[in-house]
Structure 1
């Protein structure tokens, strides 16, 4: 093999079913990746605490990226060639792309008198359940953020633009999501984290790396657009997002994990793995 394949995947609505978070339709394809030694990197908005539980269910042993590109977690046992200064957390080496959450909390707190919002750290588990529909256990894990601070924005869109401009000068990015406005470091991005980890694998194995990125939503667009093989997994609740600058995007026929599996099997065949 003269190249190696590296999979980067979103979770909710992509590898996990949009409605019930089931991944059984992707189980065979996941097993194929493990058998062939193809790393499958989870690249998600979820927290470290959420990923620890989910990785057990998936029997996942590869690196993962949390909080929309805020940090990459690499199992220390992989012995990858990493030249950057890394943090140590449990069994993982951590490459952080932004400030710790406490700095974001302090910055937002200083602006509370001028803008109308509720920060994530101010919410109880019960309030988060009411706002998101998450079950209490998952909501509690979601509250354990490390590098980002979501907010419920109750002010105007004009006020949000002013808020964004103020934080740009602090090196902080404000990203509007479905339910929350997210504060994060300027360099926190799924695509940036993917690019960094791809380079680590190339430095380790001294082989060209072909990246495939799979996602279903707007916050996956950057990651998909920067991949060698761009895949949009069809969603049952919204149309496929546009991927700027790419006319070679795969859009799956099936939804969620079934579509994910189809794309993985096609990529393995195209790259000569099967």
Structure 2
């Protein structure tokens, strides 16, 4: 199995990164402050693996823009995992319909089931929230500042359903407990709450690490970067962690032996955190 970026056979590091508010600016989605580090990592043969609440449809375009088409991705907070050919197992993953393309794993529950359960629970408990699947493209654009095409891509869910919460904390806890009894869970993102099966970013990271080790026979050090509560399981699953400064006001408590908190937000903070651990871990 060749390296996922076309570099050395044994990459010195695997980088798992959140996108919105981390590698991408929370408001403008700009990533240029991180561009020099992305180029440096590519030259060193270090796979950068997007680990995000975004959908597969959103990521396909972003992967081309960020030159990450040869690395895996984790979408919808762990509900969808994309494997490029270099990360596919010859017996378990090959798709005859797409021998040279992506193979997509969906460890979560189907989004149609999730939506039906949310509708039933909302009516039964008298909750106030709006699901992304019942919004118009224009409503999603207003909430996210995305283009019309970007909003349509964000709405192309496969294993999770975002919602805008419009009720109080007591009702939120009732929703959480009811979903749990259905095998569903509620995760806080930057703009939305996300409902999915019993998966999260940390589960998906560990799944990919197990796949990497099975294919290559070794496990390189790992670095995780994120800015929101839904990134905490990702950060807990990696050897080194970076919490990027954010203004969402949510607690970011994490017990981790190798944790760095940045001074800068967004892609500037991403570059700051990457530099911090690169100097201490990876070869120059």
1:37 maps to 2:37 = no
- The offset of 1:81, in angstroms, is 3.9
- The offset of 1:272, in angstroms, is 4.2
Which ranges in structure 1 are unaligned for 5 or more consecutive residues?
none
Distance in 2 between residues matched to 1:134 and 1:88, nearest whole Å: 35
Distance in 1 between residues matched to 2:275 and 2:96, nearest whole Å: 35
**Among 213, 216, 227, the residue aligned to 1:202:** 213
Aligned residue number for residue 108 of structure 1: 118
Q: Is the 8 A contact 2:228 2:252 kept in 1?
A: no
**Structure 1 pair 107–181 and aligned structure 2 pair: CA distance change class (3 A):** same
What pairs with 1:164-203 in structure 2 (closer than 5 Å)? 164-186=176-198, 188-203=199-214
Q: Is the 8 A contact 1:87 1:95 kept in 2?
A: no
**Among 29, 47, 56, the residue aligned to 2:55:** 47
Q: Is the 8 A contact 1:8 1:213 kept in 2?
A: yes
Q: Is the 8 A contact 1:225 1:243 kept in 2?
A: no
Aligned residue number for residue 28 of structure 2: 20
Distance in 1 between residues matched to 2:80 and 2:19, nearest whole Å: 16
C-alpha distance after superposition, 1:209-243 (max 9, x if no partner): 211001112211121122101111233x3579534
**Among 138, 144, 164, the residue aligned to 1:152:** 164
Structural RMSD (CA): 2.6
Q: Is the 8 A contact 1:64 1:72 kept in 2?
A: yes
1:268 maps to 2:278 = yes
Q: Is the 8 A contact 2:262 2:269 kept in 1?
A: yes
Q: Is the 8 A contact 2:223 2:239 kept in 1?
A: yes
More strand, by proportion: 1
Distance in 2 between residues matched to 1:35 and 1:206, nearest whole Å: 23
Q: Is the 8 A contact 2:53 2:189 kept in 1?
A: no
**Structure 1 pair 197–82 and aligned structure 2 pair: CA distance change class (3 A):** farther
Distance in 2 between residues matched to 1:260 and 1:56, nearest whole Å: 20
Which ranges in structure 2 are unaligned for 5 or more consecutive residues?
1-8
Distance in 1 between residues matched to 2:144 and 2:97, nearest whole Å: 29
Distance in 1 between residues matched to 2:44 and 2:25, nearest whole Å: 25
**Structure 1 pair 218–4 and aligned structure 2 pair: CA distance change class (3 A):** same
For 1:166, what is the secondary structure of its paired residue?
Answer: helix
- The offset of 1:131, in angstroms, is 3.4
Aligned residue number for residue 245 of structure 1: 255
**Structure 1 pair 112–265 and aligned structure 2 pair: CA distance change class (3 A):** closer
For 2:214, what is the secondary structure of its paired residue?
Answer: helix
Q: Is the 8 A contact 1:234 1:240 kept in 2?
A: no
Q: Is the 8 A contact 2:188 2:229 kept in 1?
A: no
> Which stretch of the first structure deviates more once superposed, 255-264 or 58-67?
255-264
> Which stretch of the first structure deviates more once superposed, 161-170 or 206-215?
161-170
- The offset of 1:121, in angstroms, is 1.4
